[in-house]
Copies of this chain bind each other. A is one copy, B any other.
Amino acid sequence: MVIKNGKATGVKIAYVGGGSRGWAWGLMSDLAAEESMNGTVCLYDIDFQAAKDNETIGNKIKETEGVKSVWEYVACPTLEEALTGADFVVISILPGTFDEMQSDVHTPEKYGIYQSVGDTTGPGGIVRALRTVPMFVTIAEAIRSYCPDAWVINYTNPMTLCVRTLYEVFPQIKAFGCCHEVFGTQKLLTEALEDIAGIKDVKRNEIKTNVLGVNHFTWLDSATYNNQDIFPIYAEFAEKYAKTGFAKTDNNWMNSHFACNHRVKFDLFRRYGLIAAAGDRHLAEFCPGNWYLQNPDVAHSWGYGLTPVSWRKEELLQRRARSARLVSGEEKFKLNETGEEGVQQMRALLGLTTLVTNVNMPNFGQQEGLPYGAVVETNAVFSGDSVTPIMAGGLPAEVLSLVSRVSNNQETIIEGIFCKDKDLILDAFLNDPLVTCSMEDAKKLYQEMVENTKKYLEGWEL
């Protein structure tokens, strides 16, 4: 790679999970739209054909109108080939299949436990971690061997535990995790600015926020537009829509499995005075189960739905079909700004700009009150070859009480998986906020869910 006159040429990006039919296409689009970098993207996937298909799709992009830089895409059959020489590693994988996710999300329903997402926390998040962490061990070891100086960007859930694993295996790793949930909340703040104060056309990244907590259970204790404090505006907004929720007609939760009416967020604000900064489907899963997820009706009354895995399976078929069309040329690739920041982060790490944004990284002291070393989500400065956390301060006790429970559970899970100690993970399972059934039932549920994912648990005593 050479950097000259504000341009980086010959950048090498390794994409782990490069057969992805969502994130990968987004990255392709963002890369093509960025004129200050070019190079090669090495696609690695356990489904090599999927990587091959993306190679084909990626290499066609240069013909698309509006492309500002040319990237070569290469499917690589091994991690070693993909990683060797990489400047950046992007990790975006699906740990297991939707069959296991079906168990993660729906088995708990037998015991009256409902999950709106089921990939980050709760019974589903915990068991998903059992599958995912060992994969991240493999990836971290490969990075240590083949590209120890590369910057590593993770998009995979459960985010906190994935990033935590990378650092546990290879403490010198230069890794962080990215998630767009805070961006979504910043978008909501622009809508509040318009709705309450009549301030229009503000872009989400013009909203400056201080970020605390852990991924998907993230909190803002300050937010400004220019030098204006948004909190009083948001307070009015939350009050106005406390009962009805706030939804754009094109993005109603009844039509979209990813949408919500923000009633959970408004309720949390009215109680805590802080802005919870994730979609309500995520937030609800981190709160005690009797709050927002007692049953599907309660969830609906709060303005969001539970995403069934059957829908995910259905939607995957559509993406596969689209992939085939893109490979064959039947459908043309279109450049779409994703709103993700990965490419801008890379530019900053190359020293081409400076960027302040939220990331998931180990707590080196930036977040008071949460365990040192646990992965937290706070702001950081991206600059030449560095990502440095910004002092985030602490959460008030009433919120810290919720978040420290989660963070310590996550530490327990990690230790349990690294020790292959099923009982230690049960400690976290029983203390998960969503596990509200009797202790006896909870133990049965855990046993059944572990059973359903056991093929990923080599070497465990189950």
Contacts and interface: CB of A to CB of B under 8 A. Distances in A.
Nearest to A294: B438
Given A390-B391, A436-B436, A225 B384 contact: yes
A155 interface: no
Given A227-B385, A364-B391, A381-B381, A401 B397 contact: no
Contacts of A227: 3, 349-351, 384-385
The 3 closest A-B pairs by CB, nearest first: A226-B351, A224-B384, A401-B408
Given A290-B442, A356-B383, A428 B398 contact: yes
A423 interface: yes
Interface string A401-442: 110110011011001000000011011101100011111001
Contact of A356 (B226, B356, B365): B356
A364 B383 CA distance: 22
A236 interface: no
Contact of A412 (B206, B354, B397, B430): B397
Nearest to A427: B398
Interface in A193-222: 206, 208, 210, 222
Contact of A436 (B8, B228, B290): B290
Q: How large is the interface on A (under 10, 10 to 19, 20 to 34, 35 or more residues)?
A: 35 or more
B408 A391 contact: no
A281 to B, nearest CB: 17
B390 A388 contact: yes
Number of copies of this kind of chain in the complex: 4
Contacts of A385: 224, 227-229
Interface string A272-313: 100000000000000010111010001000000000000000
Given A290-B436, A438-B294, A388 B229 contact: no
A386 interface: yes
A404 B408 contact: yes
A208 B291 contact: no
A130 to B, nearest CB: 16
Contacts of A294: 438
Contacts of A431: 288, 398, 401-402
A261 interface: no
A383 B224 contact: yes
Nearest to A223: B384
A371 interface: yes
Most chain B CB within 10 A, of A8, A229, A397, A412, is at A397
A401 B428 contact: yes
Contact of A226 (B3, B368, B381, B398): B3
Contacts of A288: 430-431, 435
A389 interface: yes
A290 B369 contact: no
A418 B415 CA distance: 31
A132 interface: no
Contacts of A186: none
